[in-house]
């Protein structure tokens, strides 16, 4: 026979176990930075995001090594630019070593010439962090490395909103469950 106290004891034990297990989980500070209003001088657009891991060790003074994922698409209606759509992903491109405040992606072998690659260079007004916010682009370009053609950017920023930790969400969920259970008993 269950008394009214038994469910509360089980809920308290579950809450305690959840908190103890959440303390042992390493917190990953991976933050998604979205491109916002990124426009080139020829009215082409860049959309997408990159993932920044504040806990990953940077290589040198740059964020190289801290960019752990990305999906950025460049579009153009410029008849003089040979690529209408280019998509930078971890499967098609790599993050390049950059200066502090810059994020650079290379799309190797964009043409049939192995010497040719496409470079997307984003120069940020301030350094990336896991705090979120908005960082303006002080300059950016996409550049074909072998033939020397490129497109300059004119406006844009990167925006990130930090997400609450899993432990916090778990505690809030269990607290709501306890509260709901107490109301049902009344």
d(CA 19, CA 173): 12
Whole-number pLDDT of residue 36: 95
In this prediction, residue 128 carries a pLDDT of 83
Angle at 98 between CA 97 and CA 99, to 5 degrees: 145
pTM > 0.75: yes or no = no
Are 166 and 22 within 8 A, CB to CB?
yes
Domain ranges of the chain: 30-160
Residue predicted with more confidence, 94 or 115: 94
pLDDT tens digits, 16-73 = 555 444 443 344 578 999 999 999 888 889 999 999 888 887 665 455 678 889 999 9
Give yes or no for residue 111 having a pLDDT over 50: yes
Q: What is the mean pLDDT of the chain?
A: 76
| DSSP three-state, residue 34 | strand
Span of 16-20, 113-117, 146-150 with lowest mean pLDDT: 16-20
Question: Is 51 strand, coil or helix?
Answer: strand
Across the strands, what pairs with 153? 40
- Nearby residues of 115 by Cβ (< 8 Å), 6 or more positions away: 145, 146
Q: Worst-scoring range by mean pLDDT, 22-26, 45-49, 99-103, 155-159?
A: 22-26
Buried b / exposed e over 73-86, threshold 16 CB at 10 Å, is ebbbeeeebebeeb
* Average pLDDT estimate for 97-103: 69
């Amino acid at each position: 026979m269950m008394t009214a106290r038994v469910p509360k004891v089980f809920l308290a034990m579950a809450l305690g176990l959840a908190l103890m297990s959440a303390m042992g989980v390493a917190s990953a500070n991976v933050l998604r930075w979205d491109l916002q209003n990124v426009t080139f001088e020829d009215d082409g657009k860049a959309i997408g995001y990159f993932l920044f891991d504040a806990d990953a060790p940077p290589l040198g003074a740059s964020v190289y090594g801290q960019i752990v994922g990305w999906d950025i698409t460049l579009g153009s209606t410029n008849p003089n630019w040979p690529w209408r759509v280019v998509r930078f992903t971890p499967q098609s491109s790599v993050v390049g070593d950059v200066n502090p405040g810059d994020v650079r992606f290379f799309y190797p072998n964009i043409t049939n010439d192995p010497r040719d690659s496409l470079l997307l260079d984003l120069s940020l007004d301030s350094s990336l962090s896991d705090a979120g916010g908005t960082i303006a682009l002080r300059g950016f370009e996409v550049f074909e490395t072998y033939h020397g053609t490129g497109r300059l950017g004119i406006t844009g920023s990167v925006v990130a909103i930090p997400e609450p930790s899993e432990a916090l969400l778990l505690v809030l969920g269990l607290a709501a469950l306890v509260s709901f259970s107490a109301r049902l008993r009344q």
